[in-house]
Chains A and B, each alone.
Chain A
Amino acid sequence: AQSVTQLGSHVSVSEGALVLLRCNYSSSVPPYLFWYVQYPNQGLQLLLKYTSAATLVKGINGFEAEFKKSETSFHLTKPSAHMSDAAEYFCAVRGGNEKLTFGTGTRLTIIP
């Protein structure tokens, strides 16, 4: 069985400040981990993914995430928030032959 927990359904940061969105996972086998972003009235698009290569994964739009096995975490960060980053972010896990399991999402608001 697998699951993913996103801590904080809503996060607000000031423009230019650090963005940190938290994700913890549970998987009985080595997982693949993903972050997706959903802009208003659009489908999800992939930001980045971890597939057992480098533990620090860089994605689009300046985002990155670090896989920490000891902490079962895959937190998403961006050094400096832009107004265009306002969206909903989903962490997802897939282990073995399991299907992709999404977290409940974190809505990111950027304060001007």
Chain B
Amino acid sequence: DAGVIQSPRHEVTEMGQEVTLRCKPISGHDYLFWYRQTMMRGLELLIYFNNNVPIDDSGMPEDRFSAKMPNASFSTLKIQPSEPRDSAVYFCASSFRDRQETQYFGPGTRLLVL
């Protein structure tokens, strides 16, 4: 069974450009999480969805970041416009029933903004 799928795996872009990261959660999972990992700040939860509805976006750093989940099998994280400080690894994770259940992480998207 396929795990969480993220694309692209690597993204290099220039400051000011729009970046879209994509995630396909594990089939049947009803929670989806977006995390950002940097050396300075570690692993941060940006936003999470339950049944395609955003529940908590308090971790989204600023209005330049937005996330959507149009259906149970697809989510996007968009940065517009991108800045060099957005350079990080972005992980998507999914889980079933969330609470005490395991979160399954994707391989991540390594973003470099020049």
Residues of chain A having any CB pair with chain B under 8 Å: 32, 34, 36, 41-46, 49, 51, 90, 94, 99-100, 102-105
**How far is the CB of B99 from the nearest CB of chain A, in Å?**
7
Contact among B42, B102, B108 with A43 in the assembled complex (CB-CB below 8 Å) = B108
| Total number of residue pairs linking A and B with CB closer than 8 Å | 42
Residues of A within 8 A of B100 (CB): 32, 49, 51, 94
Residues of B within 8 A of A42 (CB): 107-108
Total interface residues on B, CB under 8 Å, equals 17
- Decide if B45 touches A44 in the complex (CB within 8 Å): no
CA distance A51 to B98 in the complex (A): 13
- Decide if A105 touches B107 in the complex (CB within 8 Å): no
Residues of chain B having any CB pair with chain A under 8 Å: 4, 42-43, 45, 48, 56, 91, 93, 99-100, 102-108
**How far is the CB of A31 from the nearest CB of chain B, in Å?**
10
Residues of A within 8 A of B104 (CB): 45-46
CA distance A43 to B35 in the complex (A): 11
**How far is the CB of B3 from the nearest CB of chain A, in Å?**
8
Contact among B42, B48, B108 with A105 in the assembled complex (CB-CB below 8 Å) = B42
- Decide if B105 touches A44 in the complex (CB within 8 Å): yes
- Decide if A99 touches B108 in the complex (CB within 8 Å): no
- Decide if A100 touches B103 in the complex (CB within 8 Å): yes
**How far is the CB of A89 from the nearest CB of chain B, in Å?**
12
- Decide if B105 touches A45 in the complex (CB within 8 Å): yes
